[in-house]
């Protein structure tokens, strides 16, 4: 690549980066304090436009006084940038901004051989932060050249608490107890449930933000990168999955639905979609790993705004949007998530585990107002609690709250918006007899 052209790009990118809006403080920012003096590379991955670059800027402003060097490899002017240009990049960074020991690289996985350059920088005593929106490409190189040399951090769109701050609503200790404050929170929750937490979209409310993101993932991150010819099938599959969040899917069913000759195609497509963080799947819990692989998986989207963009059926499927929102939060809380079916075939939405230990069972439903729904949810949860020897259980609803005891089993019913603003898991709270938000 022409060195003078690269120089112009470096100057422009550094100027734009330093002038970016810092935005609201991300919940995960404080955790980086323990990574700063650690020599390992910090790898921040997540969906496109979920705020990774802004997080880099927040890290720089909060933890570094000395100059840093920032470079974004997503720039279309870098089409002919290769691994041979890394030396020029490093030389120009010193020429323009002086010697630094801290480097921030956005979407560096776009360049073949990036991991050798990053390792060389690390071996020279530099601190490196990198971001990426493709889990597979990052993990492939990290797992070979950089094994044991990096700290992974997954970033998701705004949490509900972050969304409230973004909208200018400050949480106080008694916010959920004061009627007027609680009403404001609930109004914002209804927005968040439908619009999701992608910063740019909730700021400007332009649907083309979501359509551009969707098309970039389909065409650039998947079709072009993996040389896919059946782009229509890929699009049809993606829309189907996003429109059916919370439902069970199998490769064979997807193959038949798309009219494909082999289950390998939907299997590959789903893997690509998961790697871009657009889609996530949840396996059915089983003691047998083979059974977990063979059983249908539950599918979810990583942001409710994208679900609403793809499905156009928010009012008809509010319960599914609630369940999807709970799943995203569980992943944000770094939970190991499964769904569970009892011996009698009753389904519980989420089983949370830690190693070999069952931690918690969670059901999600819009309302328990109808007797048949209440009986179905409670019976499934109680059966699963008996089979797995879990005493506390949780049912999350749109706006209902109740404490139940069934024998020696305790079941907490609470609104999703309150649960989103809590910290620990229910099992910890019940075990330590902590006071729940009311």
Banded pLDDT at 392 (limits 50, 70, 90): confident
> What is the band of 312 on the pLDDT scale with cuts at 50, 70, 90?
low
Give me the pLDDT at residue 142, please.
Answer: 73
Q: What is the reported pTM?
A: 0.93
Question: Which pLDDT score is estimated for 148?
Answer: 82
Question: In the β-sheet with 297-301, what is the strand arrangement from edge to edge?
Answer: 248-249, 297-301, 279-282
Per the model's pLDDT, the better-predicted residue between 293 and 85 turns out to be 85
* pLDDT beyond 50 at 424: no
Domains in the chain, CATH or no CATH each: 3-155 (3.40.50.300), 194-432 (no CATH)
Instruction: Point out the least confidently predicted range of 18-27, 312-321, 328-337.
Output: 312-321
The answer to whether residue 84 scores a pLDDT higher than 50 is: yes
Instruction: Kindly list the distances between the CA atom of residue 219 and the CA atoms of 123, 131, 278, 331, in Å, as whole numbers in the listed order.
Output: 36, 20, 13, 26
113 C-beta neighbours (distance < 10 Å), count: 13
- Give the mean pLDDT of 108-124: 91
**Tokens encoding 137:** 């490409």
Q: What is the pLDDT of residue 358?
A: 81
Whether 180 shows a pLDDT value over 60: the answer reads: yes
Say what the pLDDT of residue 432 is. Answer: 39
78 CB-near residues (< 8 Å, 6+ apart): 1, 9, 110, 111
What does the mean pLDDT of the chain come to?
A: 91
Strand (E) or helix (H) holding 391: none
More confident residue, 280 or 170: 280
Write down the pLDDT at residue 187.
97
pLDDT at residue 425 greater than cutoff 50: no
Mean pLDDT within 201-227:
94
Report d(CA 251, CA 225) in Å as an integer.
22
Phi first, then psi: what are they for 435, rounded to 5°? -80, 125
Lowest mean pLDDT among 112-116, 158-162, 385-389: 112-116
Give the pLDDT score at 137. 67
- State residue 434's pLDDT score: 35
pLDDT above 70 covers what percent of the chain? 95
Token couple for 47: 């969906």
Q: Are 404 and 411 in contact (CB under 8 A)?
A: yes
pLDDT at 428: 45
The pLDDT assigned to 140 comes to: 65
- Alpha carbon 198 to its chain centroid, in Å, reads 11
pLDDT, tens digit, 9 for 90 and up, residues 222-278: 999 899 999 999 999 999 999 999 999 999 999 998 888 889 999 999 999 999 999
pLDDT at 12 over 80: yes
């Amino acid at each position: 690549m022409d060195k003078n052209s690269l120089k112009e790009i470096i100057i422009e990118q550094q100027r734009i980066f330093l002038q970016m809006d810092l935005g609201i403080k991300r919940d995960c920012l404080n955790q980086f304090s323990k990574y700063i003096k650690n020599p390992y590379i910090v790898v921040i991955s997540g969906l496109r436009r979920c705020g990774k670059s802004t997080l880099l800027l927040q890290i720089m402003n909060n933890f570094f006084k000395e100059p840093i060097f920032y470079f974004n490899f997503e720039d279309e002017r870098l089409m002919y940038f290769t691994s041979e240009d890394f030396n020029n990049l490093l030389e120009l960074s010193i020429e323009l901004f002086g010697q630094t020991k801290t480097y921030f690289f956005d979407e560096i996985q776009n360049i073949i051989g990036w991991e050798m350059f990053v390792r060389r920088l690390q071996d020279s005593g530099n601190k490196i932060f990198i971001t990426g929106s493709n889990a597979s490409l990052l993990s492939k190189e990290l797992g070979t050249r950089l094994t044991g040399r990096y700290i992974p951090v997954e970033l998701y769109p705004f949490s509900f608490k972050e969304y409230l701050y973004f909208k200018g609503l400050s949480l106080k200790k008694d916010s959920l107890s004061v009627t007027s404050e609680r009403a404001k929170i609930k109004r914002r929750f209804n927005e968040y449930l439908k619009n999701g937490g992608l910063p740019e979209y909730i700021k400007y409310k332009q649907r083309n933000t979501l359509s551009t993101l969707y098309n970039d993932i389909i065409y650039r991150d998947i079709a072009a990168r993996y040389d896919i010819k059946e782009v229509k099938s890929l699009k049809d599959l993606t829309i189907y999955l996003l429109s059916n969040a919370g439902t069970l899917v199998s490769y064979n069913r997807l193959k038949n639905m798309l009219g494909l000759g082999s289950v390998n195609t939907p299997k590959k497509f789903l893997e690509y979609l998961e790697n871009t963080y657009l889609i996530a799947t949840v396996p059915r819990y089983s003691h047998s790993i083979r059974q977990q692989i063979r059983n249908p998986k539950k599918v979810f989207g990583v942001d409710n705004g994208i679900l609403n963009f793809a499905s156009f059926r928010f009012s008809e499927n509010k319960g599914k949007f609630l369940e999807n929102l709970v799943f995203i939060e569980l992943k944000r809380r770094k939970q190991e998530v499964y769904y569970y079916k009892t011996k009698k075939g009753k389904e519980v939405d989420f089983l949370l585990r830690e190693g070999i230990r069952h931690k918690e069972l969670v059901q999600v439903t819009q309302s328990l107002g109808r007797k048949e729904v209440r009986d179905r949810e409670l019976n499934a949860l109680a059966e699963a609690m008996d089979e797995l020897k879990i005493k506390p259980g949780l049912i999350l609803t749109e706006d209902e709250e109740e404490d139940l005891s069934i024998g020696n089993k305790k079941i907490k019913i609470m609104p999703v918006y309150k649960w989103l603003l809590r910290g620990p898991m229910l099992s910890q709270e019940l075990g330590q007899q902590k006071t729940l938000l009311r």
